[in-house]
């Protein structure tokens, strides 16, 4: 014999009802079955909400009631095809609905809703649904659960009277019908004969009680997910089904909020060693989960994660507690006597403070009870009044394998720390099957994700990208990510998810990922963007493994790095402003990244995609010292000097650099040497010498006055320089030399200058917009190390940014 329980979503729609019919009728061909059903999905909530409306005198209760009538009627009309059956069912259902209407009407008229009335009202959900299902399944026998599921009052709560219930169940199910149909959740008080229930989610419990009393072969919980999963799939998209769980593991997970099974359900079947199967009504062929005594070792240290939001932590503390025997006894007795359950306890070994976790709903009462209990100690000052902290969530990681695996707590707390999540309290029992800890509610989702990622998803690593700037570099980066996505998923087990895209005007944020295919259209209708809104939006999203990617040249955007790094978000930037700003700022950014365990990467600030900064770092890390740098770092200036000829004037060459995307958006930044100064400052700093932009000596080739006015004026005046340049160019040509704008660093001293180099010089043959860097170090002294290649251009810059992102993924 089997007991099959179908939850709200399994009786909530026509489709699910037809799946249920198929499953039950198939099973009944093999053996007798008892079917337990919940109310139609959402009806229990609606029954409760409607009674609150009636209580408040809100006429709206009628509309809500009519909606419920309509929903049940429509269901019957669609699924019960036999006319006689339908007539009979309508009769039963309508008389139940009539009683329900009278109850609401009474509540509305006298504005009173006793617990008794509320329990009666809420029972109609299962009473209605069970009649519908009993008619749907041919030959099913409907039984009223209230006849055999009995409760009594204890600590002001309805508690199952197990002994009586067991006896009655045995009587009622002898002989055992082929198909019995039982409403879940509802019960009856044995003394008052009032309708009661087993608590929200209690249909699972009804089914377990029947399975245990009748020694069922198995208890099957049919629901809307593929089984018991590693975490709530509604929060963790990558959660997957656990094939096997032990009773202990299941109990730990359910007690901590895994809603898929109502916690009291497990005990009655566990003591009888009856397995529980959790299966998806919509995919009956799926493997589902089996919960039983002994399970195969899956070699994973933990089996599941669950959580409860709405947690309050009450701290009992005071000087008199040190070594005093009996304080804990008093805490727990006082709380238990008042029916308050504690789900987490953490006591410091100094014994002068005990923190206990309770549900928010119990918090005020718990504080009151404890303040009363310790009133004397508080009045003498030996203990402090109770301190309650709300707005928290409790998370548990569970698995019997934890006891054989050292380092789980280390991994757990290390992972949380790196994500900037602080743990407010924690507890691990000596059984080592559960580690529970409390975090701020705002961190719940992120904490679940990082833990899930680090314990279950070694198969895939996810990186969440916020891309700021969708000009040429940003646009190409998104394109490159799009093209590489599948390959990286396959070969590197990496998923690069773009969760934010911002232009100077608009921003799109979506934790589920933005389709790189049509982000441009979406962006046009997105929210207006300011740096402040962007910072707040990103920090509030609070996603794990986040990377902010700056493809702008904006100072305001670079000002976001510090607050983002402070919130454990890595930064990858093509924007040079931050790394070349005040030395103190640059050091602070690097330090923050280091202490927060995230990355601040800016390889493309110098030489676009060329590995210059990375090489300097590698040399330094391996014990070398950078003594000198000589470099041509401006692809733009190099392009301009290479373009100039008898036919192409200086101003024309500048224009071409801009048109072909080699210059900064404002070319004055290149011509004033500012761009090269910034790059040189960055390389010098990375080589280990503190330097500011003002420390760089400069010998420039465009007079300062040209940089004073507007860009338009600059373009207008630029041709004035052509004649002079042409004169000098001719001389240079005669001497067989070329101009190169060179950046130099010698033991920390820096200079940028226009140099004429002859054929023998390594800079002479530098084509187009190429860059070259010569690094003289302790090891590369006689022959400097040379790095050369394209030093500008959106494609190579985007690729360099991409490489930086990948270096974060690979840690």
- Residue 433 DSSP code: S
Q: Which is nearer to Mg ion, 7 or 420 (CB)?
A: 7
| Segment interacting with ligand ADP (CB under 6 A) among 226-234, 350-358, 749-757, 761-769 | 226-234
Interface residue with ligand ASP, options 2, 3, 6, 8 (CB under 6 A): 8
**Rule CB under 6 A: is residue 257 a binding residue for ligand ASP?**
no
- Residue 215 DSSP code: T
Question: Which of ligand ADP, Mg ion, ligand ASP, none binds 791 (CB below 5-8 Å, type-dependent)?
Answer: none
Residue position matching structure tokens 């493997």: 287
Beta-carbon contacts of residue 685 (< 8 Å; ≥ 6 apart): 579, 583, 586, 691
Q: Mapping DSSP to helix (H, G, I), strand (E, B) and coil, where does residue 192 land?
A: coil
**Rule CB under 6 A: is residue 45 a binding residue for ligand ADP?**
no
Q: Which is nearer to Mg ion, 263 or 399 (CB)?
A: 263
List, as one string, the DSSP characters of 646-682.
SSS-HHHHHHHHHHTT-S-SSTHHHHTSHHHHHHHHH
Q: Which is nearer to Mg ion, 253 or 316 (CB)?
A: 253
Q: How far is the CB of 131 from ligand ADP (least distance, A)?
A: 19
**Rule CB under 5 A: is residue 202 a binding residue for Mg ion?**
no
Question: Which of Mg ion, ligand ASP, ligand ADP, none binds 185 (CB below 5-8 Å, type-dependent)?
Answer: ligand ASP
**Rule CB under 5 A: is residue 474 a binding residue for Mg ion?**
no
Question: Which of ligand ASP, ligand ADP, Mg ion, none binds 232 (CB below 5-8 Å, type-dependent)?
Answer: ligand ADP
Q: Which is nearer to Mg ion, 202 or 301 (CB)?
A: 202
198: closest CA among 249, 147, 146? 146
**Rule CB under 6 A: is residue 800 a binding residue for ligand ASP?**
no
- Burial letters for 140-169: b for 16+ Cβ neighbours within 10 Å, e otherwise? bebbebbebbbbeeeeeebebbeeebbebb
Q: How far is the CB of 44 from ligand ADP (least distance, A)?
A: 9
Q: Which is nearer to ligand ADP, 259 or 489 (CB)?
A: 259
Beta-carbon contacts of residue 321 (< 8 Å; ≥ 6 apart): 327, 351, 352, 353, 354, 383
Catalytic residue of the set 596, 601, 679, 738 = 679
**Rule CB under 6 A: is residue 39 a binding residue for ligand ASP?**
yes
**Rule CB under 6 A: is residue 223 a binding residue for ligand ADP?**
yes
Q: How many CB atoms lie within 10 A of CB 487?
A: 10
**Rule CB under 5 A: is residue 12 a binding residue for Mg ion?**
no
Most distant CA pair in the chain: distance in Å?
Answer: 115
| Segment interacting with ligand ASP (CB under 6 A) among 13-21, 37-45, 325-333, 536-544 | 37-45
**Rule CB under 6 A: is residue 607 a binding residue for ligand ASP?**
no
Q: Mapping DSSP to helix (H, G, I), strand (E, B) and coil, where does residue 160 land?
A: strand
Query: Which strands sit side by side in the sheet containing 2-6, from one edge to the other?
Result: 141-142, 179-183, 33-37, 2-6, 218-223, 276-280, 289-292, 244-246
**Rule CB under 5 A: is residue 184 a binding residue for Mg ion?**
no
Question: Which of Mg ion, ligand ASP, ligand ADP, none binds 229 (CB below 5-8 Å, type-dependent)?
Answer: ligand ADP
Question: Which of ligand ASP, ligand ADP, Mg ion, none binds 434 (CB below 5-8 Å, type-dependent)?
Answer: none
**C-alpha separations of 685 from 557, 587, 590 in Å:** 22, 9, 11
**Rule CB under 6 A: is residue 260 a binding residue for ligand ADP?**
yes
Q: Which of residues 109-128 bind ligand ASP (CB under 6 A)?
A: 125
Q: Which of residues 191-210 bind ligand ASP (CB under 6 A)?
A: 200-204
d(CA 336, CA 156): 12
Size of the site for ligand ADP (CB under 6 A): 20
Task: Check: CB of residue 745 under 8 Å from CB of residue 689.
Answer: yes
Question: Which of Mg ion, ligand ASP, ligand ADP, none binds 16 (CB below 5-8 Å, type-dependent)?
Answer: none
Task: Check: CB of residue 366 under 8 Å from CB of residue 335.
Answer: yes
Question: Which of ligand ASP, ligand ADP, Mg ion, none binds 301 (CB below 5-8 Å, type-dependent)?
Answer: none
Q: Which is nearer to ligand ADP, 264 or 420 (CB)?
A: 264
| Segment interacting with ligand ADP (CB under 6 A) among 45-53, 222-230, 366-374, 616-624 | 222-230
**Residue 321 CB burial class (10 angstroms; 0-12, 13-18, ≥19):** buried
**Rule CB under 6 A: is residue 438 a binding residue for ligand ADP?**
no
Question: Which of ligand ADP, Mg ion, ligand ASP, none binds 781 (CB below 5-8 Å, type-dependent)?
Answer: none
Q: How far is the CB of 49 from ligand ASP (least distance, A)?
A: 12
**C-alpha separations of 57 from 46, 491, 808 in Å:** 16, 63, 59
546: closest CA among 485, 466, 611, 447? 466
**Residue 546 CB burial class (10 angstroms; 0-12, 13-18, ≥19):** buried
Beta-carbon contacts of residue 396 (< 8 Å; ≥ 6 apart): 252, 253, 256, 305, 306, 307, 434, 435, 436
Q: How far is the CB of 237 from ligand ADP (least distance, A)?
A: 12
Question: Which of ligand ASP, Mg ion, ligand ADP, none binds 44 (CB below 5-8 Å, type-dependent)?
Answer: ligand ASP
Q: How far is the CB of 36 from ligand ASP (least distance, A)?
A: 9
Which segments of 542-698 does DSSP mark as H helices, in order? 555-558, 561-566, 577-580, 583-596, 613-621, 635-643, 650-659, 668-671, 674-686
Q: Is the dihedral of CA 46, 47, 50, 55 positive or negative?
A: negative
> Is 679 a residue of the active site?
yes
**Residue 109 CB burial class (10 angstroms; 0-12, 13-18, ≥19):** exposed
**Rule CB under 6 A: is residue 224 a binding residue for ligand ADP?**
yes
Tell how strand 461-468 and strand 494-502 pair up: parallel
Tell how strand 461-468 and strand 546-550 pair up: parallel
- Burial letters for 583-616: b for 16+ Cβ neighbours within 10 Å, e otherwise? bebbeebeebbeebebbbbbbbbbbbbbebbbbb
d(CA 808, CA 753): 36
Q: Which of residues 298-357 bind ligand ADP (CB under 6 A)?
A: 304, 306
Size of the site for ligand ASP (CB under 6 A): 13
Phi, psi for 3 (deg, rounded to 5)? -110, 125
Q: Which is nearer to ligand ASP, 125 or 474 (CB)?
A: 125
Tell how strand 506-509 and strand 527-528 pair up: antiparallel
Q: How far is the CB of 99 from ligand ASP (least distance, A)?
A: 18
Phi, psi for 156 (deg, rounded to 5)? 65, 20
Task: Give me the 74-113 binding string for ligand ASP, x by CB under 6 A, dash otherwise.
Answer: ----------------------------------------
Q: Which of residues 747-766 bind ligand ADP (CB under 6 A)?
A: none
Interface residue with ligand ADP, options 126, 220, 232, 664 (CB under 6 A): 232
Q: Which of residues 311-330 bind Mg ion (CB under 5 A)?
A: none
Q: Which is nearer to Mg ion, 7 or 318 (CB)?
A: 7
Interface residue with ligand ADP, options 3, 7, 263, 675 (CB under 6 A): 7
**Rule CB under 5 A: is residue 201 a binding residue for Mg ion?**
yes
Q: How far is the CB of 254 from ligand ADP (least distance, A)?
A: 9
Interacting residues toward Mg ion by CB under 5 A: 7, 201
Interacting residues toward ligand ASP by CB under 6 A: 7-8, 38-39, 44, 125, 184-185, 200-204
Interacting residues toward ligand ADP by CB under 6 A: 7-10, 38, 201, 223-225, 228-229, 231-234, 258-260, 304, 306
Task: Enumerate the active-site residues.
Answer: 679
């Amino acid at each position: 014999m089997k007991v099959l329980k179908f939850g709200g979503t399994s009786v909530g729609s026509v489709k699910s009802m037809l799946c249920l019919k198929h499953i039950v009728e198939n099973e009944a061909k093999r053996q007798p079955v008892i079917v337990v059903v919940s109310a139609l999905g959402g009806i229990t909530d609606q029954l409760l909400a409607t009674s609150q409306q009636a209580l408040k005198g809100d006429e709206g209760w009628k509309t809500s009631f009519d909606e419920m009538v309509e929903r049940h009627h429509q269901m019957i009309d669609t699924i019960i095809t036999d006319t006689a059956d339908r007539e009979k069912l309508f009769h039963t259902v309508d008389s139940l609905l009539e009683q329900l209407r009278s109850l609401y009407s009474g509540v509305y008229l006298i504005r009173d809703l006793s617990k008794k009335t509320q329990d009666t009202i809420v029972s109609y959900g299962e009473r209605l649904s069970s009649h519908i299902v009993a008619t749907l399944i041919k030959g099913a026998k409907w039984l009223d659960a209230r006849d055999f599921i009995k409760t009594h009052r204890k600590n002001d709560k309805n508690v199952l009277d197990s002994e009586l219930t067991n006896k009655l169940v045995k009587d009622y199910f002898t002989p055992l019908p082929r198909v019995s149909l039982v409403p879940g959740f509802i019960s009856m008080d044995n003394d008052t004969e009032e309708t009661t229930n087993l608590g929200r989610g209690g249909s699972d419990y009804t089914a377990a009680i029947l399975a245990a009393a009748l020694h069922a072969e198995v208890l099957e919980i049919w629901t809307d997910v593929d089984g018991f999963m590693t975490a709530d799939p509604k929060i963790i998209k990558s959660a997957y089904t656990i094939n096997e769980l032990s009773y202990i593991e299941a109990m730990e997970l359910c007690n901590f909020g895994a809603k898929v099974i109502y916690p009291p359900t497990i005990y009655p079947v566990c003591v009888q060693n009856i397995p529980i199967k959790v299966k998806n009504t919509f995919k009956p062929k799926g493997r589902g989960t089996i919960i039983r005594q002994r399970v195969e070792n899956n070699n994973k240290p933990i089996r599941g994660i669950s959580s409860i939001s709405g947690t309050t932590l009450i701290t009992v503390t005071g000087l008199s507690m040190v070594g005093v025997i009996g304080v804990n006894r008093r805490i727990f007795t006082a709380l238990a006597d008042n029916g308050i359950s504690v789900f987490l306890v953490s006591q410091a070994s100094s014994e002068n403070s005990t923190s206990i976790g309770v549900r928010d709903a119990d918090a005020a009462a718990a504080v009151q009870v404890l303040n009363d209990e310790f009133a004397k100690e508080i009045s003498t000052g030996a203990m402090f009044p109770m301190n309650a902290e709300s707005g928290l969530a409790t998370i548990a990681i569970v698995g019997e394998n934890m006891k054989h695996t050292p380092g789980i707590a280390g991994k757990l707390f290390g992972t949380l720390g790196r994500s900037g999540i602080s743990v407010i309290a924690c507890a691990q029992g000596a059984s080592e099957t559960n580690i529970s800890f409390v975090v701020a509610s705002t961190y719940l989702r992120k904490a679940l994700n990082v833990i899930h990622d680090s314990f279950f998803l070694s198969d895939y690593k996810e990186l969440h990208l916020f891309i700021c700037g969708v000009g040429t570099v940003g646009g190409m980066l998104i394109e490159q990510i799009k093209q590489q996505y599948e390959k990286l998923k396959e070969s590197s087990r990496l998923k690069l998810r773009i969760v934010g895209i911002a232009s100077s005007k608009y921003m799109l944020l979506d934790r589920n990922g933005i389709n790189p295919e049509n982000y441009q259209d979406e962006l046009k209708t997105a929210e207006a963007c300011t740096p402040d809104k962007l910072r707040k939006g990103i920090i509030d999203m609070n996603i794990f493994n986040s990377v902010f990617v700056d493809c702008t040249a904006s100072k305001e955007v670079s000002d976001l790095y510090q607050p983002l790094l402070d919130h454990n978000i890595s930064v990858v930037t093509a924007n040079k402003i931050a790394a070349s700003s005040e030395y103190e700022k640059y050091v602070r950014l690097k330090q923050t990244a280091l202490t927060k365990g995230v990355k601040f990467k800016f390889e493309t600030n110098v030489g676009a995609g060329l590995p210059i900064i990375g090489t300097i770092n590698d040399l330094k890390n391996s014990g070398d010292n950078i003594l000198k740098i000589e470099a041509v770092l401006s692809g733009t200036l190099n392009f301009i000097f290479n373009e100039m000829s008898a036919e192409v004037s200086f101003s024309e060459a500048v224009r071409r650099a801009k048109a072909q995307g080699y210059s900064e958006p404002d070319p004055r930044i290149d011509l004033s040497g500012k761009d090269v100064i910034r790059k040189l400052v960055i390389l010098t700093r990375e080589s280990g010498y503190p330097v500011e932009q003002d420390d760089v000596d400069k010998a420039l080739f465009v007079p300062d006055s040209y940089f004073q006015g507007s860009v338009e004026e600059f373009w207008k005046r630029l041709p004035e320089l052509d004649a002079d340049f042409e004169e000098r160019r001719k001389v240079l040509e005669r001497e067989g030399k070329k101009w190169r704008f060179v950046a130099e660093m010698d033991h920390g001293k820096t200079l940028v200058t226009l140099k004429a180099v002859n054929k023998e010089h390594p800079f002479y043959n530098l084509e187009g917009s190429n860059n070259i860097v010569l690094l003289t170090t302790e090891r590369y002294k006689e022959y400097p190390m040379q790095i050369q290649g394209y030093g500008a251009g959106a494609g190579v810059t985007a690729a360099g940014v991409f490489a930086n992102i990948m270096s974060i993924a690979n840690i």
